[in-house]
Amino acid sequence: MENVWQNYRLAIISVAIAAVAAAASLFVVPETKQAVIISAGNPTKIVNMYRPDEPYGQTGAGFYWRIPLYERVQMVERRVLDLDMDNQQVLTSDQQRLQVNAYARFRIIQPRIMVERAGDETRLISQLSPILTSVLRQELGRRTFASLLTAERGNAMTNIRDQLDRQAREYGAQIIDVRIKAADLPEGTPLQAAFTRMQSERQEEAATIRAQGRKNAQIIRAEADADAANTYAAAYGKDPQFYDFYRAMQSYRTTFINAEGESSMILSEDNEYFRQFRGQ
């Protein structure tokens, strides 16, 4: 078997050299990347550049050759990228502070310009991020706090996107969309003040509800009193004199019999009760 080596030595060596050469000069561009070929420091050729109406499968992705050592390949993202802005305090036109968290979505449409002016994606993001912040501050600073919470914000976002897009094109990027993820009250006094206001609003609501309850209860009682008086009047009004007598009798029973404690009575003979007693 050692003959294989001896007999085909030349072939084996040449295959190995070919493989190494191929590995050094062949490269695959996936659908998700654009490739910038840099020959001796100058970006000369772009492979699989983004075009909006190209369906996948008909893009420039695939195998490509380069001259080893002389040409260098830099892969640039072809997909939509994410530019995140950390929490930023923005002062609105009515002097309210607002903590804003935004993001932008962008795509590199001019990889050559991007490679020349920014370098790579990470550096591009670090270039764009302060621009986003300042554009956002500027635009939101013209609006009132309340308007930032409403749908009118859409207009602001379009302005911000356009401004950012103008500057991003300088770096070969296209801004697809800018959106405010969160517009919050900043931690500390503003947030605390909001909490206090919410609290006092609720306290007011609670007090109102209680007062309403008391009021309603009072009305119900008063109505009942009136109804009862009405009922009484309807009955007793038939004969006020008899009512007087009847009620007096009831009252005596209640006072002297059912009441607590001893009762003593000093009775005069003139009492009506003793009329028969006196023999009259």
Partner 1 sequence: MQIFDGFKQRFGQSAIGLAMAGKKNPWGAGNKGGDEASGEKPSGQSGDEPSGEKSEGPRNPWLPGGGSGDGAGGKGRRAPNIEDLFKNRGPEGPRRGGPGGPNFRLPQRPGGKSWAPILIVGVALIWIGLTSVHFVQPREQAVVTWFGGKYQDTLNPGTNWTYPWPVQQVTATDVSEIRSEDVPKKLILTGDQNLVDLGYLIRWNIKDLTLFEFQLADPEETVLEAAETAMRSSVAEKTLDAVISGEGRADIEQNVLTRMQGILDAYGSGINVQGIEIDKSDPPEQVIEAFNDVLAAQQNAEQEINQARRYAQQLLARAEGDAAAFNNIYEEYRLAPEVTRRRLYYETMEAVLANTDKTFIEADGVTPYLPLSEVQRRSQQAASQAQQGGQ
- Closest to partner 1 by CB, 83 or 115: 83
Q: Is 198 in the site for partner 1 (CB under 8 A)?
A: yes
Can you tell me whether residue 178 is helix, strand or coil?
strand
- The half-sphere exposure of 102 on its side-chain side, counting CA atoms within 13 A, is 31
Q: How far is the CB of 247 from partner 1 (least distance, A)?
A: 9
- Closest to partner 1 by CB, 72 or 179: 179
Q: Is 177 in the site for partner 1 (CB under 8 A)?
A: yes
What is the contact mask toward partner 1 in residues 71 to 90, using x (rule: CB under 8 A)?
A: ------xxxxxx--------
Which residue in the set 62, 67, 120, 162 belongs to the binding site for partner 1 (CB under 8 A)? Answer: 62
Cβ contact 136:102 at 8 Å? yes
Query: What is the distance between the alpha carbons of residues 161 and 177, in angstroms, rounded to a whole number?
Result: 6
Q: Is 15 in the site for partner 1 (CB under 8 A)?
A: no
DSSP calls for 107-166: EES-HHHHHHHT-SHHHHHHHHHHHHHHHHHHHHTTS-HHHHHSTTHHHHHHHHHHHHHH
Query: What is the distance between the alpha carbons of residues 182 and 85, in angstroms, rounded to a whole number?
Result: 11
Q: Is 11 in the site for partner 1 (CB under 8 A)?
A: no
Q: Which residue has the tokens 């000069």?
A: 25
Q: Is 16 in the site for partner 1 (CB under 8 A)?
A: no
Q: Which residues contact 157 (CB under 8 A, 6 or more apart)?
A: 178, 179, 180
Q: Is 51 in the site for partner 1 (CB under 8 A)?
A: no
Which residue in the set 32, 87, 89, 138 belongs to the binding site for partner 1 (CB under 8 A)? Answer: 32
Tell which phi-psi region holds residue 119, choosing left (phi > 0), alpha (psi between -120 and 50) or beta: left
Q: Is 69 in the site for partner 1 (CB under 8 A)?
A: no
Q: Which of residues 234-273 bind partner 1 (CB under 8 A)?
A: 234-236, 238-239, 242-243, 245-246, 249, 252-253, 256-257, 262-269, 272-273
Q: How far is the CB of 10 from partner 1 (least distance, A)?
A: 16
Q: How far is the CB of 29 from partner 1 (least distance, A)?
A: 6
